[in-house]
Amino acid sequence: MKVKLGQAVKMFFGNSSLEMVYIEAIANALDANANKIDVIISASAYNQPQSIEIAISDNGIGFTEERFNKFSKLFDVDESSHKGLGRLVYLCYFNKVNVISTFENTKQREFEFTEDFDEDSSTISIIESRATGTSLNMSGYTLTKLGKNSFIQAKYLKTRLLEEFYSRLYQLKSQDKEIDINITANVENTLQVETISNSDIPKFETVEVESSITLFDKFDLHYSIKEVSIEDTSFIAAVSVDNRTVKVDIISDENKPLGYSMVFLLYSDWFRGKVDPTRQNLTLSDADLQAIKTMFRKKVASIIEEKIPAITKRNTDTKNNLINTFPHLSGYFDNETIGYISRVDVLKKAQDQFFRAQKDLLEASSLSNEEYEKSLELSARALTEYVLFRQITIAALKKTTKDNSEAELHKLFATMRTKFSKDSLVNDLYRNNAWLLDDKYMTYETLLSDTEMTDLVSYITEGEGIERDADRPDIALVFSNDPNKSAYFDVVIVEIKKRGITLEENMKTVTQLEKRARKLMRYYNDKIQRIWYYGIIEFNEDVELHLSGEFKELYSAGKIYYKDTTVVISKNPEIRLPIGIYMWDIDAVVNDAESRNSSFLKLIKSKFIKETIQM
């Protein structure tokens, strides 16, 4: 050979897999007009890859002089449909491949294929007349791991080989040629045997697919749909390129119809030569690949919906669910992809279109009447998105259990170790959920999440010299009701406890709040005009019984208790100041927030759903 095989192997097959060894060998056998192929795999154990040996034999025409010369000269091919590289994949996994080939009935060629391969090392013997064919014996597995156990399992390999060669085997069957591919695997002294024959190739129906991609080549879709058991569900969508099939992702796993075996093969001369050296990936531009996927998916979807009416209902239900769950995106969902691409991708495409529409309007130097109406619609959708985010946050808080840490609960209220400022309110809308407590708290000047009392007092006193205090309230919120920014502030202090803790641990919340009050009340009537202290805990019978002794039950969309008390901020002279402490059931927080959010959400949903139906 004229090139260094070791470097070529790394260059062209650096990301291959062991299954490519079988695929390449069988492709070469079929090219040699073989119709009987035997694959024999042996290994002592799955965790002993060095013991793997693979033998593949066929009844093809063998390594004639012409075929051997092509094998020996890398890249030396006669047509674009052959890459001249496939055999390199053997050396990705095995040190050597012993080849014995009978050709012209009376000649036997033997050689060893390694990284040091020299075509002159091939020997030819004259033998008694026999059937032609070739055997490859691969040994000296080079990797330390197998990758996947399935790579040496007969059942998996049968499925992969069918996927890879459906196009070729279908053509052979159409030509009334019998196919016999036997796969035998002996691993850990367990024998597995599988066979691929004409009976494994389904009867295909054929339809022409309309396309604007090319004016000269037509596209034909060959397909088969048959009912099977749920466990035998399968779906293959591929294009036929140079007698091989290259899979194309047009339907996500979550949307593949259960209880059916489906094969869709797209044929066109336009695909000729448009595949990489590994024959696993199409070499198309992004625009062409997207056009092929769209055309392919649209036709496959129409066939599936025609053959299986229940899919149409499923997709309609999916669409209605999306609109009901994300009303702000109604009108942006691509109806042709719903039920075929993943739900995540459907949402992403709709969201991207929504953002593009917003961007176009924001960048417009002036707005026409039509654009103005569009801006109002987009504003309503943006607001809906935020309301939906709130609902998701409420649902997440509702689902918390004793297994959730206090930090996890805290993050639902606000990102930890973070200072939020009113100047960045819009940017922080999805990180700061002070509205869970009360919507009025979103008028904050600053919010300190899990930060030191020093920072809070520094903000209130505008940097007066104070002694550092590393004590950390969960949430400290400073806000003012004065639109002209009064010198006086209102302050909210929040302590949060996880679910499922003891009564004693819950009641520590009261002590913590009183401790925070003692440090803040010295600024009362000077810098602070009002202070709210909230303890958010999980209520149970013991907690309520304990609170009932000193606290008064208030009425909300759940349980909340309140008590007036005093804190001593100075002992000599003694100075006592009154404070009020709220103990709030975490479920009451959820219910109260949900009741505030749900009415607006229902109104918004009804508006967008009504508009979608009218469309």
Among 106-115, 428-437, 449-458, 548-557, which stretch is predicted with the lowest mean pLDDT?
449-458
**399: pLDDT confidence band, cut at 50, 70 and 90?**
very high
The whole-number pLDDT of residue 75 equals 41
Above 70 in pLDDT, residue 245? yes
The CATH superfamily holding the domain 5-198 is Histidine kinase-like ATPase, C-terminal domain (3.30.565.10)
Q: Tell me what percent of the residues of the chain surpass a pLDDT of 70.
A: 83
Q: Is the pLDDT of residue 426 over 50?
A: yes
pLDDT tens by residue, 99-141: 999 999 999 999 999 888 888 889 999 999 999 999 999 999 9
At 54, the amino acid letter reads I
pLDDT at 358: 67
* Local structure of 194: helix, strand or coil: strand
Give the model confidence (pLDDT) of 65-105 as tens digits.
998 888 887 644 444 444 445 677 888 889 999 999 999 99
| DSSP per-residue letters across 397-443 | HHT--TTS-HHHHHHHHB-TTEEEEGGGHHHHTTTB-GGGT-GGGGG
Model confidence, pTM: 0.61
Cβ atoms of residues 441 and 421 within 8 Å: no
Confidence at residue 69, expressed as pLDDT on a 0 to 100 scale? 87
Residue 142 tokens read as 């080079």
The alpha-helical segments, DSSP class H, found in 32-98 are 65-72, 90-93
85 or 393, which is more confident? 393
15, pLDDT greater than 50 = yes
Please state, in angstroms and rounded to a whole number, the distance separating the CA atoms of residues 236 and 221.
13
pLDDT band at 368 (very low <50, low <70, confident <90, very high): confident
pLDDT of residue 82: 43
What 3-state class would DSSP assign to 33? coil
* Every domain of the chain and the residues it spans: 5-198, 205-307, 315-399, 400-595
pLDDT at 341 over 70: yes
What is the pLDDT of the chain when averaged over all its residues? 83
pLDDT above 90 covers what percent of the chain? 43
DSSP 3-state of 473: coil
- For residue 469, the model assigns a pLDDT of 46
CA 75 to chain centre: 38
Which residue from 561, 577, 459 is spatially nearest to 509, judged by alpha carbons?
Answer: 561
What is the pLDDT confidence band of residue 38, given thresholds at 50, 70 and 90?
very high
pLDDT for residue 483: 38
What is the average per-residue pLDDT within 243-259?
Answer: 90
The pLDDT-based confidence of 225 (bands split at 50, 70, 90) is very high
Q: Sort strands 558-571 and 552-556 into parallel, antiparallel or unpaired.
A: antiparallel
Q: Which residue has the tokens 């890249």?
A: 75
Residue 366 burial (C-beta neighbours within 10 Å; 0-12, 13-18, 19+): exposed
Q: Which CATH class is domain 205-307?
A: alpha beta
